[in-house]
Structure 1
């Protein structure tokens, strides 16, 4: 079934009611809401659903993704997807999507609140008051005015933090390996290398995903390069700041305080940081506002509805190349790519090595990535795996086929060419339907429809034998196309016996 064929969705974490309402009313989707499912119950039920929506509580493991034989999409109502085995989802052809903007404001505001709280020790002073004390001297704070804030990760949340803290006249500097310095300069953040940042900062806040490259980003070595008394904030993901290193820095005075909304283990069993007097710790509240929950629930539901309606694919974490593939304009080209891949497989079943997908015409200028996936689906038609646009190129590579793309400016005609192993197929659309126009140097005078059942000869067909075989099988000849070196017949029903037709290939393509 198509990736957009989503009829039943399970919501396994608590979400705003708007999420289920939008799925039902706008997408016609059957929704089951069962927050708090045990891992065992999720495993036993997931096989009945095409989609799964989670927050951070549900762990979407490889076992869950394998058991979900109908799953097309796992949607995270929030930014991080570290509770989803993204690699396993990709292998199983399942789209993983998130809502990258839904909780940005809430997470940024919480970060700013922790910076303010650290500067004036607000939670500690409030707790002291509740104990009947009046510790004015103990809770001497410091102004933010003129201090330097280092922001590691300058995406949506990092940007929102920067613009807010600039209103306190803080100097905002940062690091991001992807966003260009000229972009961050527009919202007042000067970028430096990591080595240059540590020694400048009075406060450091992290806003990166949890990746192998960011795990332990703030550690013993980096603390040693910081100003003595630097204060750190983590409202992103537990593990970006090395918790053991942070504790050592707090005990030595190298770190003057920490605001932690996230932990490596949640809830943390080791309470050394939670109980430390210089640490403000929160139970992962970054997205815990009514506004963020409503926004994330609505956003994830609308993304799934857009997918179901073939309008768009938004927020795809493991299939960004497919964001251009979900529209009425691109759908026929995807069908063409798959059909050409299938035909290529029939003609060269043992092909290996590089297969090049070449596009021409302005309409296909940025289509190479998803058309590679479409062609790979056709090449892998006999695979026993669940092959679709998400994972086709990965599986192709596993069997020794590298599908690459190239856009040629040599022709203004909109066309798609698949070549490799000495074979070249060229096709296009005729009346919106996929068709074949050329095999190698052999041109067909009229387009060959690429759906239903085709008979193909590498030379001229014996028409008398063909008519006889069709009559015997109760099939009809619908069209006949002859080029120099190839003959293709479109017939109404497959033939069970091709022995009378010589060296003839019978090819079945999706209608």
Structure 2
């Protein structure tokens, strides 16, 4: 029986043709509300969507036959990926189909902002001839600050260089060598804020990047700076930006994305020096065609042949490999995430070592998973398929090493990350119970399971630390689930890895850091 796919959002007719040519039955039924979708989703093996349709746990509960969700675009914010994973549903996206279109839109908004084109057009068509009102600025010779110099950011930088701008870029994952290749100057964020005449954002929305431009950041910028956001709503504090526009500190802003969408009202609306578009970054016929064709091919390959590509919640491996690899993939991802959450500066190299039985398996999938885990704390949209190319475009060297020697463990995976400041390594294994465990951090032996919420503390091995540390958590009402200690020598360097119930506040972390024995403290989430 041929697999059936529901196309729930508007896709190019060419995508429907691909499904039919490959032998997949399709129904095009767009504009469904959640109740209508829940009523029919059980009839389908796959669903192809864009940004309008939301795949929630309630929808997935009704999707008894669903095997794959195909998102024509990069973001999967409208899909509950953990719930899909739990249900065994593959979630695919098309990571690079919108890149050129989005970068071009950012450049278009920058030019429109520099010459006040939208306001001048409205005025002129209203019969006014306000030639002296619309005094613009040249972009030639101006400095463009690019926040996030990945696939889209690097294209925007290239276009700006063609317009004879000077381009500076902030991206923790951008190597000096890659910056030279792109023709941009790599800078710290504070330096970018201080120097840029125009700022364009091309970074995902994560806990680290939320409100990356806030009132404090704006204070450090040049008077008359102009800000463009075609990436994600929430990267800029809209209220703070409106205040800066009103005061004249910021000369103008051009936004394609907003905290709340559809944006019926917004703090930026109505300001004469603001240009707004309704999330048009991917809205060109070429981009629509590219992502539609790509998602149709990917979904067909999976439903007909079991091939997985560009999945955000599962690596590209065969059905025969899956049972052995699945727990090791989870381990590799968590080891990468552990290292990524502790990394504060630019990554130069990642070395992943496989020892014992794991060295005989498909380590490529494991390496992709480790790199995805490493990059995800900063780049929310990265997945096990796109991770290698994302690392490559940022100039990060990824090395694999395999060793037959087993040592103390049947299989051992070590992730070693070299940054501009240091090298940090973490090792883990999977025991017979199938649960991944950390067994070594920076050469110090530990034995700890990964918990949803953890605290990592590096300290000096001196009496009194454990009592004071536990006292801080107790006073804050933070319950300790598990407590693991390790040290390299008596009185030497030590590590505490603590699983806690729930999150911990920044205030508690600061109190822990103030303990005289503590050299580093960081909350971790898995």
**Distance change >3 Å, CA 364–CA 80, structure 1 → 2:** closer
Instruction: State the distance in 1 between where 2:3 and 2:304 align.
Output: 12
The 1-side partners of 2:365 and 2:44 are apart by 31
Correspondence for 1:273 among 268, 272, 283: 268
User: What is the aligned partner in structure 2 of residue 164 from structure 1?
Assistant: 159
Alignment correspondent of 2:168 = 173
Structure-2 residue corresponding to 1:433? none
Q: Distance in 1 between matches of 2:220 and 2:326?
A: 55
2:51 pairs, out of 56, 69, 82, with 56
Query: Shift in Å at residue 124 of structure 1?
Result: 1.0
**Contact 1:80 / 1:209 at 8 angstroms: preserved in 2?**
no
Deviation track 1:417-444 (CA, whole Å, cap 9, x = no partner) reads 9984699xxxxxxxxxxxxxxxxxxxxx
Preserved CA contact (<8 Å) 2:411 2:430: no
Distance of aligned partners of 1:237 and 1:50 in 2 relative to their CA distance in 1, 3 Å threshold: same
C-alpha distance 189-318 of structure 1, shift in aligned 2 (>3 A): farther
Measured at CA, do residues 88 and 357 of structure 1 come closer, stay the same or move farther in structure 2, by a change above 3 Å? farther
Q: Distance in 2 between matches of 1:184 and 1:6?
A: 49
Aligned to 2:251: 256
- 1:91 aligned to 83, 86, 92, which one? 86
**In 2, Cα distance between equivalents of 1:339 and 1:210:** 29
Deviation (angstroms), 1:59:
1.8
Aligned counterparts, 1:183-202, within 5 A: 183-202=178-197
- Following TM superposition, by how much is the alpha carbon of 1:60 offset from its aligned partner in structure 2, in angstroms? 1.9
Shift of 1:357: 7.6
Q: Give 3-state SS (helix, strand or coil) of 2:281's partner.
A: coil
Bigger mean CA deviation after superposition, 44-53 or 86-95: 86-95
Q: Which moved more, 1:134-143 or 1:205-214?
A: 205-214
* Matched residue, 1:440: none
Deviation of 1:265 (Å) = 1.6
Q: Does 1:23 align with 2:22?
A: no
SS in 1 for 2:357: strand
1:164 deviates by 0.6
Please list every run of 5 or more consecutive structure 2 residues that lacks an aligned counterpart in the other structure: 329-354, 371-383, 386-399, 413-428, 435-526
Once the two structures are superposed, residues 223-282 of structure 1 have per-residue CA deviations (whole angstroms, 9 ceiling, x without a partner) of 111111111111112111121111111111111111111112222232442221111111
Q: 2:209 maps to which residue?
A: 214
Q: Deviations over 1:79-98 (max 9, x none)?
A: 12222222322232322221
Contact 1:148–1:173 under 8 Å retained in 2: yes
Query: In 2 relative to 1, CA 419–185 (structure 1 residues): closer, same or farther, beyond 3 Å?
Result: closer
User: What is the Cα deviation at residue 337 of structure 1?
Assistant: 6.2
Question: Could you tell me how far apart the structure 1 residues matched to 2:120 and 2:54 are?
Answer: 37
Alignment pair present for 1:101 and 2:96: yes
Match of 1:359 in 2: 358
Q: Is the 8 A contact 1:6 1:72 kept in 2?
A: no
Give the 3 Å change call, closer, same or farther, for CA 336–261 of structure 1 in structure 2: closer
How many angstroms apart in 1 are the aligned matches of 2:292 and 2:369?
Answer: 32
Q: 1:422 to 1:66 in 2, by over 3 A?
A: closer
Aligned to 1:12: 8
CA contact (8 A) 1:201 1:226 kept: yes
Aligned to 1:246: 241
Whether the aligned pair in 1 keeps the contact of 2:223 and 2:249 (CA below 8 Å) is: yes
Q: In the superposition, relative to structure 1, how do residues 191 and 95 fare at CA in structure 2: closer, same or farther (>3 Å)?
A: farther
Is residue 115 of structure 1 aligned with residue 110 of structure 2?
A: yes
Pair 46,179 (structure 1): closer, same or farther in 2 beyond 3 Å: farther
Unaligned runs of 5+ in 1: 341-355, 373-388, 391-404, 424-511
Q: Distance in 2 between matches of 1:24 and 1:282?
A: 35
Question: Are 2:357 and 2:404, in contact at CA under 8 Å, matched by a contact in 1?
Answer: no
Q: How many corresponding residue pairs?
A: 362
Measured after TM superposition, the shift of residue 312 of structure 1 is 4.4
Distance 1:419 1:251 in 2: 57
Q: Deviations over 1:124-183 (max 9, x none)?
A: 111110011111211111110111111111121111111111111111111223343322
SS at match of 1:96: strand
Classify 1:422/1:298 alpha carbon distance in 2 versus 1 (closer, same or farther; 3 Å). closer
CA distance in 2, matches of 1:193, 1:6: 54
Separation (CA, whole Å) in 2 of partners of 1:161 and 1:116: 13
C-alpha contact 1:8 1:31 (8 A) present in aligned 2: yes
Shift of residue 17, structure 1, vs aligned partner: 0.7
Distance 1:240 1:231 in 2: 15
Q: Report the secondary structure of 1:186's partner residue.
A: helix
Structure 2 distance, partners of 1:150, 1:16, is 35
The 1:183/1:44 distance shift into structure 2, 3 A limit, reads same
The question of whether the paired residues in 2 share the 8 Å contact of 1:358 and 1:368 is answered with no
Rounded Cα–Cα distance in structure 2 between residues aligned with 1:259 and 1:370:
36
Query: Residues of 1 paired with 2:2 and 2:401: CA distance?
Result: 32
Shift of 1:371: 11
- Compare CA radii of gyration and give the structure with the larger one: 1
Deviation at 1:364, TM superposition (A): 3.7
Asked whether the equivalents of residues 358 and 406 of structure 1 are also in contact (C-alpha less than 8 Å), the reply is: no
Which range is displaced more, 46-55 or 126-135?
Answer: 46-55
The 5 A counterparts of 1:305-320 are 305-310=300-305, 312-319=307-314
RMSD in angstroms over aligned alpha carbons? Answer: 3.3
* TM-superposition CA deviations, 1:46-96 (whole Å, max 9, x none): 222222211111122222223323222222111122222223222323222
Determine if contact 1:158/1:207 at 8 Å carries over to the other structure: yes
Picking from 286, 310, 319, the partner of 2:281 is 286
> Relative to 1, partners in 2 of residues 1:164 and 1:339: Cα closer, same or farther, differing over 3 Å?
closer
In 1: Cα distance, 2:29 partner to 2:362 partner:
43
On the 8 A contact 2:209/2:235 being kept in 1, the answer is: yes
Partner of 1:462: none
